[in-house]
């Protein structure tokens, strides 16, 4: 009985160690290519549908 409980404890500790090692593995972020789009009134949109600037002549003077 004592050998069985020791074996089970060893297996559980091994599984815990493996799961902790798997969680601490970090991959660096990969950069994405910026993509500039224009929306209505020649506005620049970073995210489709969200205007962040407007270069219409009547607004820039």
Tens digits of residue pLDDT in 35-54: 665 556 655 555 655 555 65
Scanning the structure block, which residue is given the tokens 């270069």?
55
Higher pLDDT: 61 or 27? It is 27
Give the integer Cα–Cα distance in Å for 47 and 37: 8
- What pLDDT shows up at residue 20? 64
Alpha helices in the chain (DSSP H): 2-23, 57-60
- What pLDDT shows up at residue 60? 52
pLDDT band at 2 (very low <50, low <70, confident <90, very high): low
pTM: 0.31
């Amino acid at each position: 009985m004592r050998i069985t409980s020791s074996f089970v404890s060893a297996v559980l500790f091994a599984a815990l160690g493996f799961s902790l090692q798997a969680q601490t593995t970090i991959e660096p972020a990969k950069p994405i290519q910026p993509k500039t789009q224009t929306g209505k009134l020649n506005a620049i949109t970073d995210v489709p549908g969200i205007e962040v600037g407007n270069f219409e002549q009547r607004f820039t003077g």
